[in-house]
Structure 1
């Protein structure tokens, strides 16, 4: 005998639809859905919560990327070219993490701020800077002789976080204050 599924509340459906509708217009809709849909009930139908969750997902991914690249840098068999690129990349990701944290901090002060447009502009600037930092990491690959395995791992990690950052920036750009 099959168990009956618990009915999904109309409120939960509303929250899920809000996240889906919001993600469908981002640059990377499937990345957006995968990172935000699990938090639909926490986001509710609040665009500010959506943006903060998007930035939190970006921050988590950036931290994972930093960890991945740091492990690569500690490998015993890396070349000088690999080591140089990885060292620069770790710094780029650290800068990106700092930028994302600044953006989150700005958004946390948005509701109480007298100049909401200024605060929102700061969040946009910091998120945009995070994207620049992320791509700076992959730009270094072209300047050095990097082993294919290291190159693939860096690019894969960076593309994950850069797509999340891009989606977060899109969502910030469309906030109404």
Structure 2
């Protein structure tokens, strides 16, 4: 009888050990916040940019998937807002041609729209605890995708070969930086949404 009890206890302990090990693997290869960010950034189109822009917020993100997505959106909004401010300054520069001025003005409006959509997305992500999580996440996915489209549309106005090269390069650099971060944010939002659908 005693031998049977000991055997059952041994099997129970072994089961607990195996369950703990499986749970650890399911959570990811490393509980370190930096490693968590690096691992998550593999799902993005620009992983190096993702790691570079998010690791400084590791103390805020920790290992929280939702906070990771919110932080990525906030960084995207900040960079897009900075680009929009640059466009606003460029519209006041003297000496640029009417075609260039029009392209810069259109670009500014696109970037402003992008900022608004990203701001909406950050707010909506913060309301997921209030319920209707999947509906809210669908809203966020739609808005971030639209924000990315706005950013890409911004560059369309500079496709004309007669555009000033320096102006085009300066604007392109800022918009591309913002669009890469926004693309990454969308990937992390999609990743978070998929984990809600299939926990």
TM-score by length of 1: 0.89
Q: Deviation per CA, 1:74-96: give whole Å up to 9, x if none.
A: 11121111100000001000000
Q: Indicate the SS of the match to 1:53.
A: helix
For the residue of structure 2 that corresponds to 1:111, the secondary structure is helix
Using the alignment, how far apart are the partners of 1:123 and 1:68 within structure 2?
Answer: 26
Kindly provide the CA deviation profile for residues 54-101 of structure 1, in whole angstroms up to 9, marking residues without a partner as x.
001001101110111122221112111110000000100000000001
Deviation at 1:39, TM superposition (A): 0.5
Q: Deviations over 1:115-173 (max 9, x none)?
A: 21111000000000000100110011125842111111111111001001100000011
1:33 aligned to 2:57? no
Q: 2:162 and 2:112 mapped to 1: Cα distance?
A: 23
Mapping of residues 67-82 of structure 1, within 5 Å: 67-82=85-100
- Quick one: distance in 1 between partners of 2:152 and 2:188? 20
Q: Is 2:59 aligned against 1:46? A: no
Rg: which structure is higher? 2
Q: How many correspondences in the alignment? A: 165
TM-score (norm 2): 0.79
Kindly report the root-mean-square deviation, in angstroms, between the aligned alpha carbons of the 2 structures: 1.5
Distance in 2 between residues matched to 1:81 and 1:131, nearest whole Å: 24
Aligned to 1:63: 81
Whole-angstrom distance in 1 between the partners of 2:124 and 2:67: 13
Confirm whether residue 124 of structure 1 aligns to residue 141 of structure 2. Answer: yes
